[in-house]
Amino acid sequence: MELDKMDENDWKYHGEGNKSLVVSHLQHSRVLRLLKYPSEDAEQSHQTTEQAHRHIQNIVDFSNNIMKPLLGEKYIHSGEIVKLPLDFVRLLSLKIQQERPELRCDKVMDTFSGCALCLPNLTQFNSCHFGDQRPPICVEIKPKCGFLPFSRHFTKDCKRKVCRFCMHQHLKLASGKWKRLSRYCPLDLFSGNKQRMYIAIKHLLEEPQNNFKIFKGGELIFSCTDDMEKEPDLSALAQQLRPYFPHASGLYNGYQPGKAVLNEFIQVICSALLSGWDCSRAGEPRKVHLPEGRAHCEASPLHRDLVRNGNHCLPKDCVLARILQTQMLDSLDIEGIYPLYKRIEQHLEEYPKERSRLQIDGPYNEGFLEKLKNCPSEDDGSVEYAVGKVHQYRAAMTAKDCSIMITLARCGENEVLEPNLEINPSKPRFSYSVSILDLDPKPYEAIPYQFKLDSKIVNYYLRSTHAKQ
Ligand code: ATP
Ligand code: MG
Ligand code: MG
Protein backbone atom coordinates (compact mmCIF):
# COMPACT_ATOMS: atom_id res chain seq x y z
CA MET A 1 0.00 0.00 0.00
CA GLU A 2 1.61 3.24 -1.11
CA LEU A 3 0.39 5.92 1.23
CA ASP A 4 1.15 8.80 -1.12
CA LYS A 5 -0.86 7.24 -3.94
CA MET A 6 -4.08 6.43 -2.15
CA ASP A 7 -7.18 6.33 -4.33
CA GLU A 8 -10.63 6.27 -2.71
CA ASN A 9 -11.87 4.10 -5.58
CA ASP A 10 -9.69 1.23 -4.34
CA TRP A 11 -11.65 1.10 -1.07
CA LYS A 12 -15.20 0.34 -0.09
CA TYR A 13 -17.40 0.61 2.97
CA HIS A 14 -17.02 -2.49 5.16
CA GLY A 15 -18.69 -1.85 8.51
CA GLU A 16 -18.68 0.21 11.67
CA GLY A 17 -19.23 0.16 15.39
CA ASN A 18 -19.79 2.87 17.91
CA LYS A 19 -16.21 4.17 17.88
CA SER A 20 -14.79 3.41 14.46
CA LEU A 21 -15.58 2.96 10.80
CA VAL A 22 -13.92 0.33 8.63
CA VAL A 23 -13.24 0.31 4.89
CA SER A 24 -11.77 -2.60 2.97
CA HIS A 25 -9.46 -2.70 -0.02
CA LEU A 26 -10.96 -4.05 -3.26
CA GLN A 27 -7.95 -6.21 -4.14
CA HIS A 28 -5.72 -6.64 -1.12
CA SER A 29 -6.84 -8.32 2.06
CA ARG A 30 -6.53 -5.16 4.17
CA VAL A 31 -8.85 -2.84 6.04
CA LEU A 32 -8.50 0.70 7.38
CA ARG A 33 -10.14 1.47 10.70
CA LEU A 34 -10.89 5.18 11.16
CA LEU A 35 -12.13 7.05 14.24
CA LYS A 36 -15.65 8.51 14.51
CA TYR A 37 -17.05 11.60 16.30
CA PRO A 38 -20.54 12.75 17.30
CA SER A 39 -21.80 14.65 14.24
CA GLU A 40 -23.49 17.59 16.00
CA ASP A 41 -20.19 18.95 17.29
CA ALA A 42 -17.69 17.44 14.87
CA GLU A 43 -16.06 20.81 14.29
CA GLN A 44 -15.33 21.32 17.98
CA SER A 45 -14.85 17.81 19.25
CA HIS A 46 -12.45 16.42 16.69
CA GLN A 47 -9.00 15.68 17.95
CA THR A 48 -5.86 17.26 16.60
CA THR A 49 -3.66 15.01 14.49
CA GLU A 50 -1.41 14.57 17.48
CA GLN A 51 -4.31 13.56 19.77
CA ALA A 52 -5.72 11.13 17.21
CA HIS A 53 -2.28 9.61 16.73
CA ARG A 54 -1.89 9.19 20.50
CA HIS A 55 -5.38 7.69 20.72
CA ILE A 56 -4.69 5.10 18.01
CA GLN A 57 -1.22 4.36 19.42
CA ASN A 58 -2.91 3.63 22.77
CA ILE A 59 -5.25 1.21 21.01
CA VAL A 60 -2.31 -0.60 19.39
CA ASP A 61 -0.33 -0.68 22.65
CA PHE A 62 -3.28 -1.92 24.71
CA SER A 63 -3.96 -4.65 22.18
CA ASN A 64 -0.30 -5.70 21.88
CA ASN A 65 0.97 -5.36 25.44
CA ILE A 66 -2.10 -6.03 27.58
CA MET A 67 -4.72 -8.02 25.65
CA LYS A 68 -2.32 -10.23 23.68
CA PRO A 69 -0.68 -11.75 26.77
CA LEU A 70 -4.12 -12.27 28.34
CA LEU A 71 -5.97 -13.65 25.31
CA GLY A 72 -3.18 -15.42 23.45
CA GLU A 73 -0.88 -14.28 20.70
CA LYS A 74 -2.39 -16.41 17.97
CA TYR A 75 -5.83 -14.77 18.11
CA ILE A 76 -4.75 -11.15 17.86
CA HIS A 77 -3.72 -8.82 15.04
CA SER A 78 -3.03 -5.40 16.50
CA GLY A 79 -2.35 -3.60 13.22
CA GLU A 80 -0.27 -0.53 12.56
CA ILE A 81 -0.92 3.21 12.46
CA VAL A 82 -0.91 4.84 9.05
CA LYS A 83 -0.97 8.52 8.16
CA LEU A 84 -3.26 9.06 5.18
CA PRO A 85 -3.43 12.04 2.83
CA LEU A 86 -6.33 14.29 3.94
CA ASP A 87 -7.70 14.57 0.39
CA PHE A 88 -8.04 10.82 0.23
CA VAL A 89 -9.82 10.66 3.59
CA ARG A 90 -12.31 13.39 2.60
CA LEU A 91 -13.15 11.77 -0.73
CA LEU A 92 -13.45 8.38 0.96
CA SER A 93 -15.83 9.78 3.55
CA LEU A 94 -18.08 11.24 0.80
CA LYS A 95 -17.93 8.03 -1.20
CA ILE A 96 -19.05 5.73 1.60
CA GLN A 97 -21.64 8.01 3.22
CA GLN A 98 -24.68 6.56 1.44
CA GLU A 99 -23.75 3.00 2.39
CA ARG A 100 -23.70 3.61 6.11
CA PRO A 101 -26.62 2.21 8.12
CA GLU A 102 -29.01 4.86 9.36
CA LEU A 103 -28.65 3.87 13.01
CA ARG A 104 -24.92 4.69 12.89
CA CYS A 105 -25.22 8.13 11.29
CA ASP A 106 -25.31 10.03 14.59
CA LYS A 107 -21.53 10.03 14.23
CA VAL A 108 -19.22 11.11 11.41
CA MET A 109 -15.94 9.65 10.26
CA ASP A 110 -12.77 11.52 11.25
CA THR A 111 -11.63 13.45 8.20
CA PHE A 112 -9.40 15.86 10.12
CA SER A 113 -6.47 13.88 11.47
CA GLY A 114 -5.57 11.55 8.60
CA CYS A 115 -4.67 8.85 11.15
CA ALA A 116 -6.01 5.32 10.83
CA LEU A 117 -5.26 1.77 11.83
CA CYS A 118 -4.36 -0.67 9.07
CA LEU A 119 -5.29 -4.30 9.77
CA PRO A 120 -5.53 -7.59 7.88
CA ASN A 121 -9.04 -8.16 6.55
CA LEU A 122 -10.20 -10.95 8.84
CA THR A 123 -13.30 -11.69 6.78
CA GLN A 124 -11.03 -13.11 4.10
CA PHE A 125 -8.76 -16.09 4.32
CA ASN A 126 -5.23 -14.80 4.33
CA SER A 127 -3.39 -18.00 3.60
CA CYS A 128 -3.94 -20.13 0.52
CA HIS A 129 -7.41 -21.18 -0.44
CA PHE A 130 -6.99 -24.94 -0.46
CA GLY A 131 -7.98 -25.07 -4.09
CA ASP A 132 -11.64 -24.44 -3.43
CA GLN A 133 -13.70 -22.16 -5.66
CA ARG A 134 -16.18 -21.19 -2.98
CA PRO A 135 -15.33 -17.86 -1.30
CA PRO A 136 -14.57 -18.08 2.44
CA ILE A 137 -17.35 -17.58 4.96
CA CYS A 138 -16.67 -15.45 8.02
CA VAL A 139 -18.82 -15.43 11.14
CA GLU A 140 -18.47 -12.53 13.56
CA ILE A 141 -19.78 -13.00 17.09
CA LYS A 142 -19.78 -10.31 19.73
CA PRO A 143 -20.34 -12.67 22.64
CA LYS A 144 -20.57 -10.17 25.58
CA CYS A 145 -20.11 -11.20 29.23
CA GLY A 146 -20.18 -14.97 29.74
CA PHE A 147 -20.50 -15.39 33.52
CA LEU A 148 -22.62 -14.28 36.44
CA PRO A 149 -20.68 -11.86 38.63
CA PHE A 150 -19.46 -13.26 41.93
CA SER A 151 -18.71 -10.16 43.91
CA ARG A 152 -19.87 -9.65 47.49
CA HIS A 153 -20.47 -5.98 46.75
CA PHE A 154 -23.90 -6.34 45.16
CA THR A 155 -26.88 -4.42 46.28
CA LYS A 156 -29.34 -6.39 44.10
CA ASP A 157 -29.57 -10.15 44.35
CA CYS A 158 -30.87 -10.63 40.80
CA LYS A 159 -27.33 -10.01 39.50
CA ARG A 160 -26.45 -13.41 40.90
CA LYS A 161 -29.16 -15.10 38.84
CA VAL A 162 -29.65 -13.23 35.60
CA CYS A 163 -26.78 -12.21 33.34
CA ARG A 164 -26.03 -8.66 32.27
CA PHE A 165 -26.86 -9.24 28.61
CA CYS A 166 -30.31 -10.68 29.36
CA MET A 167 -31.10 -7.86 31.79
CA HIS A 168 -29.88 -5.18 29.38
CA GLN A 169 -32.20 -6.49 26.64
CA HIS A 170 -35.22 -5.12 28.53
CA LEU A 171 -33.79 -1.60 28.75
CA LYS A 172 -32.73 -1.69 25.09
CA LEU A 173 -36.22 -2.70 24.05
CA ALA A 174 -37.80 0.08 26.14
CA SER A 175 -35.40 2.70 24.82
CA GLY A 176 -36.25 1.72 21.23
CA LYS A 177 -32.71 0.54 20.43
CA TRP A 178 -34.17 -2.84 19.32
CA LYS A 179 -37.68 -3.92 18.46
CA ARG A 180 -37.53 -7.49 19.78
CA LEU A 181 -35.82 -9.21 22.70
CA SER A 182 -32.91 -11.42 21.74
CA ARG A 183 -33.14 -14.94 23.16
CA TYR A 184 -29.37 -15.30 22.95
CA CYS A 185 -27.71 -15.80 26.33
CA PRO A 186 -23.90 -15.49 26.52
CA LEU A 187 -23.77 -18.04 29.34
CA ASP A 188 -25.08 -20.68 26.95
CA LEU A 189 -22.42 -19.84 24.37
CA PHE A 190 -19.62 -19.93 26.96
CA SER A 191 -20.95 -23.12 28.60
CA GLY A 192 -18.77 -25.45 26.52
CA ASN A 193 -21.81 -27.72 26.33
CA LYS A 194 -22.47 -28.45 22.66
CA GLN A 195 -26.26 -28.45 23.01
CA ARG A 196 -26.36 -25.13 24.84
CA MET A 197 -23.88 -23.58 22.43
CA TYR A 198 -25.94 -24.80 19.48
CA ILE A 199 -29.03 -23.12 20.86
CA ALA A 200 -27.15 -19.91 21.68
CA ILE A 201 -25.98 -19.63 18.06
CA LYS A 202 -29.46 -20.46 16.80
CA HIS A 203 -30.79 -17.57 18.88
CA LEU A 204 -28.13 -15.29 17.38
CA LEU A 205 -29.29 -16.26 13.90
CA GLU A 206 -32.91 -15.58 14.81
CA GLU A 207 -32.15 -12.13 16.26
CA PRO A 208 -28.63 -11.00 15.38
CA GLN A 209 -28.86 -7.41 16.74
CA ASN A 210 -25.22 -6.26 16.79
CA ASN A 211 -23.92 -9.58 18.11
CA PHE A 212 -23.78 -11.62 14.92
CA LYS A 213 -22.76 -11.09 11.31
CA ILE A 214 -21.86 -13.33 8.39
CA PHE A 215 -19.58 -12.39 5.49
CA LYS A 216 -19.10 -14.33 2.28
CA GLY A 217 -15.97 -13.54 0.28
CA GLY A 218 -15.56 -10.43 2.44
CA GLU A 219 -19.11 -9.14 1.73
CA LEU A 220 -21.65 -8.83 4.52
CA ILE A 221 -24.49 -11.25 3.74
CA PHE A 222 -26.26 -11.49 7.09
CA SER A 223 -26.72 -9.05 10.01
CA CYS A 224 -29.46 -7.03 11.66
CA THR A 225 -31.42 -5.25 8.96
CA ASP A 226 -31.83 -1.48 8.78
CA ASP A 227 -35.57 -2.05 8.99
CA MET A 228 -35.63 -3.39 12.54
CA GLU A 229 -39.25 -4.51 12.27
CA LYS A 230 -38.22 -7.15 9.75
CA GLU A 231 -37.14 -10.57 10.95
CA PRO A 232 -33.95 -12.01 9.46
CA ASP A 233 -34.46 -14.14 6.36
CA LEU A 234 -33.05 -17.51 7.37
CA SER A 235 -34.11 -19.33 4.24
CA ALA A 236 -32.21 -16.80 2.11
CA LEU A 237 -29.21 -17.42 4.35
CA ALA A 238 -29.52 -21.20 3.95
CA GLN A 239 -29.61 -20.64 0.20
CA GLN A 240 -26.32 -18.74 0.38
CA LEU A 241 -24.71 -21.42 2.53
CA ARG A 242 -26.01 -24.41 0.60
CA PRO A 243 -22.95 -24.79 -1.70
CA TYR A 244 -20.80 -25.27 1.39
CA PHE A 245 -22.93 -28.15 2.67
CA PRO A 246 -23.83 -30.19 -0.41
CA HIS A 247 -24.25 -33.27 1.74
CA ALA A 248 -26.90 -31.61 3.92
CA SER A 249 -28.79 -30.26 0.91
CA GLY A 250 -28.84 -33.64 -0.82
CA LEU A 251 -29.76 -35.61 2.24
CA TYR A 252 -32.79 -33.59 3.21
CA ASN A 253 -33.96 -32.65 -0.25
CA GLY A 254 -37.60 -31.68 -0.21
CA TYR A 255 -37.78 -31.84 3.55
CA GLN A 256 -36.83 -28.43 4.97
CA PRO A 257 -33.39 -28.56 3.38
CA GLY A 258 -32.59 -25.09 4.73
CA LYS A 259 -32.77 -26.41 8.27
CA ALA A 260 -30.21 -29.12 7.59
CA VAL A 261 -27.80 -26.60 6.08
CA LEU A 262 -28.13 -24.21 9.04
CA ASN A 263 -27.80 -27.12 11.44
CA GLU A 264 -24.45 -28.16 9.96
CA PHE A 265 -23.32 -24.55 9.74
CA ILE A 266 -23.97 -24.04 13.47
CA GLN A 267 -22.07 -27.21 14.29
CA VAL A 268 -19.04 -26.00 12.34
CA ILE A 269 -19.13 -22.70 14.25
CA CYS A 270 -19.32 -24.57 17.58
CA SER A 271 -16.31 -26.71 16.65
CA ALA A 272 -14.26 -23.67 15.69
CA LEU A 273 -15.16 -21.96 18.98
CA LEU A 274 -14.02 -25.00 20.95
CA SER A 275 -10.87 -25.63 18.95
CA GLY A 276 -7.43 -24.31 19.74
CA TRP A 277 -6.03 -27.33 21.40
CA ASP A 278 -2.41 -27.71 20.46
CA CYS A 279 -2.22 -31.05 18.61
CA SER A 280 1.52 -31.36 19.17
CA ARG A 281 0.87 -32.06 22.84
CA ALA A 282 -0.05 -35.59 23.73
CA GLY A 283 -3.29 -36.61 25.39
CA GLU A 284 -6.60 -34.89 25.91
CA PRO A 285 -6.83 -31.09 25.92
CA ARG A 286 -6.82 -29.57 29.40
CA LYS A 287 -10.20 -28.22 30.45
CA VAL A 288 -11.32 -25.05 32.18
CA HIS A 289 -14.16 -25.84 34.55
CA LEU A 290 -16.72 -23.14 34.88
CA PRO A 291 -17.39 -21.82 38.35
CA GLU A 292 -20.31 -23.53 40.08
CA GLY A 293 -23.47 -21.50 40.07
CA ARG A 294 -22.07 -18.80 37.80
CA ALA A 295 -22.65 -20.52 34.50
CA HIS A 296 -26.46 -20.56 34.46
CA CYS A 297 -28.67 -17.59 33.75
CA GLU A 298 -32.28 -17.82 34.89
CA ALA A 299 -33.42 -15.66 31.98
CA SER A 300 -32.08 -18.05 29.34
CA PRO A 301 -34.97 -19.77 27.58
CA LEU A 302 -33.19 -23.14 27.80
CA HIS A 303 -34.73 -26.03 29.58
CA ARG A 304 -33.46 -26.33 33.13
CA ASP A 305 -32.55 -30.00 32.81
CA LEU A 306 -30.21 -29.27 29.95
CA VAL A 307 -28.53 -26.56 31.95
CA ARG A 308 -28.22 -28.61 35.14
CA ASN A 309 -27.19 -31.96 33.79
CA GLY A 310 -24.87 -31.11 30.93
CA ASN A 311 -21.11 -31.11 31.15
CA HIS A 312 -19.80 -27.56 31.48
CA CYS A 313 -16.20 -26.95 30.71
CA LEU A 314 -14.15 -25.38 27.96
CA PRO A 315 -10.94 -26.73 26.40
CA LYS A 316 -8.21 -24.64 27.99
CA ASP A 317 -6.86 -22.81 24.97
CA CYS A 318 -10.03 -22.35 22.94
CA VAL A 319 -10.99 -18.79 22.12
CA LEU A 320 -14.01 -18.87 24.46
CA ALA A 321 -11.91 -20.00 27.44
CA ARG A 322 -9.35 -17.25 26.84
CA ILE A 323 -12.03 -14.56 26.56
CA LEU A 324 -13.96 -15.82 29.59
CA GLN A 325 -10.86 -15.95 31.79
CA THR A 326 -10.02 -12.37 30.86
CA GLN A 327 -13.59 -11.22 31.50
CA MET A 328 -13.40 -12.80 34.95
CA LEU A 329 -10.59 -10.41 35.92
CA ASP A 330 -13.60 -8.28 36.84
CA SER A 331 -13.93 -9.95 40.22
CA LEU A 332 -15.48 -7.07 42.16
CA ASP A 333 -18.18 -6.00 39.72
CA ILE A 334 -18.71 -2.30 39.00
CA GLU A 335 -20.28 -1.94 42.45
CA GLY A 336 -16.97 -2.96 44.02
CA ILE A 337 -14.86 -0.99 41.52
CA TYR A 338 -16.62 2.36 41.90
CA PRO A 339 -15.44 2.92 45.53
CA LEU A 340 -11.88 2.06 44.42
CA TYR A 341 -12.19 4.59 41.59
CA LYS A 342 -13.18 7.18 44.19
CA ARG A 343 -10.18 6.18 46.34
CA ILE A 344 -7.90 6.83 43.34
CA GLU A 345 -9.59 10.15 42.57
CA GLN A 346 -9.09 11.29 46.15
CA HIS A 347 -5.44 10.26 46.06
CA LEU A 348 -4.91 12.13 42.79
CA GLU A 349 -6.51 15.24 44.19
CA GLU A 350 -3.83 15.30 46.84
CA TYR A 351 -0.97 14.06 44.65
CA PRO A 352 -1.80 14.94 41.03
CA LYS A 353 1.68 13.93 39.84
CA GLU A 354 0.98 10.32 40.83
CA ARG A 355 -1.32 10.02 37.82
CA SER A 356 1.54 9.15 35.52
CA ARG A 357 3.34 6.79 37.95
CA LEU A 358 0.11 4.86 38.46
CA GLN A 359 -0.40 4.78 34.66
CA ILE A 360 -4.01 5.85 34.96
CA ASP A 361 -4.14 6.90 31.28
CA GLY A 362 -1.43 4.57 30.08
CA PRO A 363 1.09 4.10 28.67
CA TYR A 364 -0.12 0.55 28.12
CA ASN A 365 3.20 -1.23 28.49
CA GLU A 366 4.72 -4.01 30.63
CA GLY A 367 4.48 -1.72 33.67
CA PHE A 368 0.71 -1.53 33.25
CA LEU A 369 0.45 -5.30 32.84
CA GLU A 370 2.59 -5.83 35.96
CA LYS A 371 0.29 -3.61 38.03
CA LEU A 372 -2.67 -5.56 36.72
CA LYS A 373 -1.09 -8.96 37.41
CA ASN A 374 0.55 -8.22 40.75
CA CYS A 375 -2.45 -6.66 42.40
CA PRO A 376 -2.74 -7.88 46.04
CA SER A 377 -5.56 -10.38 46.48
CA GLU A 378 -6.93 -8.64 49.59
CA ASP A 379 -7.70 -4.95 49.92
CA ASP A 380 -4.97 -3.46 52.10
CA GLY A 381 -6.46 0.01 51.77
CA SER A 382 -3.67 1.17 49.45
CA VAL A 383 -3.99 3.16 46.26
CA GLU A 384 -1.91 0.42 44.57
CA TYR A 385 -4.61 -2.12 45.27
CA ALA A 386 -7.25 0.23 43.88
CA VAL A 387 -5.22 0.86 40.73
CA GLY A 388 -4.47 -2.85 40.19
CA LYS A 389 -8.17 -3.68 40.46
CA VAL A 390 -9.21 -0.83 38.17
CA HIS A 391 -6.64 -1.93 35.56
CA GLN A 392 -8.01 -5.49 35.80
CA TYR A 393 -11.55 -4.21 35.46
CA ARG A 394 -10.66 -2.26 32.31
CA ALA A 395 -9.02 -5.28 30.64
CA ALA A 396 -12.11 -7.33 31.56
CA MET A 397 -14.40 -4.67 30.05
CA THR A 398 -12.47 -4.86 26.79
CA ALA A 399 -12.88 -8.65 26.77
CA LYS A 400 -16.63 -8.21 27.36
CA ASP A 401 -16.88 -6.03 24.27
CA CYS A 402 -14.64 -7.77 21.74
CA SER A 403 -15.69 -9.72 18.63
CA ILE A 404 -14.66 -13.23 17.58
CA MET A 405 -14.04 -13.71 13.85
CA ILE A 406 -14.21 -17.27 12.52
CA THR A 407 -13.19 -17.58 8.89
CA LEU A 408 -14.06 -20.85 7.17
CA ALA A 409 -13.08 -22.20 3.79
CA ARG A 410 -14.17 -25.52 2.29
CA CYS A 411 -11.26 -27.83 1.58
CA GLY A 412 -10.87 -29.38 -1.83
CA GLU A 413 -12.17 -32.96 -1.64
CA ASN A 414 -8.79 -34.64 -2.09
CA GLU A 415 -6.63 -32.42 -0.02
CA VAL A 416 -4.76 -33.57 3.04
CA LEU A 417 -4.69 -30.99 5.79
CA GLU A 418 -2.51 -30.49 8.78
CA PRO A 419 -4.42 -32.10 11.61
CA ASN A 420 -4.99 -28.92 13.61
CA LEU A 421 -6.52 -27.15 10.64
CA GLU A 422 -9.24 -29.64 10.17
CA ILE A 423 -12.46 -29.75 12.10
CA ASN A 424 -15.07 -32.43 12.16
CA PRO A 425 -13.24 -34.93 9.93
CA SER A 426 -16.38 -36.98 9.29
CA LYS A 427 -18.43 -33.92 8.27
CA PRO A 428 -17.90 -31.45 5.43
CA ARG A 429 -14.27 -30.44 5.57
CA PHE A 430 -13.40 -26.88 6.49
CA SER A 431 -10.19 -25.13 7.26
CA TYR A 432 -10.64 -22.22 9.58
CA SER A 433 -8.93 -19.41 11.40
CA VAL A 434 -10.14 -17.76 14.59
CA SER A 435 -9.25 -14.20 15.64
CA ILE A 436 -10.37 -11.63 18.18
CA LEU A 437 -10.91 -8.00 17.23
CA ASP A 438 -11.98 -4.70 18.72
CA LEU A 439 -9.63 -4.63 21.72
CA ASP A 440 -9.68 -0.91 22.46
CA PRO A 441 -8.99 0.21 26.04
CA LYS A 442 -12.12 1.39 27.88
CA PRO A 443 -11.48 4.82 29.41
CA TYR A 444 -10.83 5.15 33.14
CA GLU A 445 -13.15 8.21 33.15
CA ALA A 446 -16.06 6.01 32.06
CA ILE A 447 -16.24 4.21 35.43
CA PRO A 448 -18.83 6.59 37.02
CA TYR A 449 -20.93 6.26 33.86
CA GLN A 450 -20.63 2.45 34.01
CA PHE A 451 -21.74 2.55 37.64
CA LYS A 452 -24.86 4.57 36.81
CA LEU A 453 -25.67 2.47 33.76
CA ASP A 454 -25.43 -0.72 35.79
CA SER A 455 -27.97 0.44 38.34
CA LYS A 456 -30.24 1.69 35.55
CA ILE A 457 -30.15 -1.72 33.84
CA VAL A 458 -30.78 -3.67 37.03
CA ASN A 459 -33.56 -1.38 38.26
CA TYR A 460 -35.29 -1.40 34.91
CA TYR A 461 -35.06 -5.17 34.71
CA LEU A 462 -36.58 -5.58 38.16
CA ARG A 463 -39.40 -3.17 37.38
CA SER A 464 -40.24 -4.64 33.98
CA THR A 465 -40.17 -8.28 35.06
CA HIS A 466 -42.08 -7.68 38.30
CA ALA A 467 -44.73 -5.75 36.44
CA LYS A 468 -45.33 -8.81 34.24
CA GLN A 469 -45.66 -11.27 37.10
P1 ATP B 1 -17.95 -1.41 18.95
O2 ATP B 1 -19.11 -0.49 18.84
O3 ATP B 1 -18.34 -2.86 18.94
O4 ATP B 1 -16.99 -1.08 20.05
P5 ATP B 1 -15.93 -0.37 17.16
O6 ATP B 1 -16.45 0.97 16.81
O7 ATP B 1 -14.87 -0.44 18.20
O8 ATP B 1 -17.13 -1.32 17.56
P9 ATP B 1 -14.90 -2.49 15.46
O10 ATP B 1 -15.74 -3.49 16.15
O11 ATP B 1 -13.43 -2.62 15.63
O12 ATP B 1 -15.40 -1.02 15.81
O13 ATP B 1 -15.17 -2.51 13.89
C14 ATP B 1 -16.49 -2.42 13.37
C15 ATP B 1 -16.77 -3.60 12.48
O16 ATP B 1 -15.86 -3.61 11.37
C17 ATP B 1 -16.57 -4.95 13.15
O18 ATP B 1 -17.75 -5.33 13.82
C19 ATP B 1 -16.23 -5.86 11.95
O20 ATP B 1 -17.41 -6.30 11.30
C21 ATP B 1 -15.48 -4.93 11.03
N22 ATP B 1 -14.02 -5.07 11.20
C23 ATP B 1 -13.24 -4.45 12.10
N24 ATP B 1 -11.96 -4.83 11.99
C25 ATP B 1 -11.91 -5.73 10.98
C26 ATP B 1 -10.87 -6.51 10.37
N27 ATP B 1 -9.60 -6.44 10.78
N28 ATP B 1 -11.21 -7.34 9.35
C29 ATP B 1 -12.48 -7.43 8.94
N30 ATP B 1 -13.50 -6.74 9.46
C31 ATP B 1 -13.23 -5.89 10.48
MG1 MG C 1 -16.96 -3.85 17.71
MG1 MG D 1 -14.97 -1.20 20.15
Domains of the chain with bracketed CATH = 3-120 (3.30.200.110), 137-328+402-437 (no CATH), 333-398+442-468 (no CATH)
Mutating to test ligand 1, I would choose from 13, 31, 436, 438 the residue with most ligand atoms within 8 A of its C-beta, which is 438
In ligand 1, the atom with minimum distance to the C-alpha of 18 is: 2
Q: Is the pLDDT of residue 280 over 50?
A: no
**Residues with C-beta less than 6 Å from any ligand 1 atom:** 14-20, 22, 31, 33, 119-123, 140, 213, 401, 403, 437-438, 440
Cα dihedral sign, 202-158-375-363? positive
Amino acid at 219: E
For range 221-228, the mean pLDDT: 84
- φ, ψ of residue 294 to 5 degrees: the values are -110, 0
Q: Is the pLDDT of residue 83 over 50?
A: yes
For residues 307 and 305, give the distance between their C-alpha atoms in angstroms, rounded to a whole number.
5
Give 308 or 181, the one with higher predicted confidence.
181
For residues 223 and 229, give the distance between their C-alpha atoms in angstroms, rounded to a whole number.
14
Report yes or no: 191 and 295 within 8 Å, Cβ to Cβ.
yes
Which ligand gives the minimal distance to the CA of 20?
1
What confidence tier does 87 reach under pLDDT thresholds 50, 70, 90? very high
Examine the predicted complex and report whether its ipTM is higher than 0.95. yes
Q: How many other CB atoms sit within 10 Å of the CB of residue 197? A: 22
Entry pTM: 0.93
Q: How many other CB atoms sit within 10 Å of the CB of residue 138? A: 27
**pLDDT, tens digit, for every residue of 288-310?**
776 666 678 888 877 666 666 66
Amino acid at 34: L
What pLDDT is attached to residue 402? 98
Q: Is the pLDDT of residue 29 over 80?
A: yes
For residues 9 and 312, give the distance between their C-alpha atoms in angstroms, rounded to a whole number.
49
In ligand 1, the atom with minimum distance to the C-alpha of 440 is: 7
pLDDT above 90 as % of the chain = 68
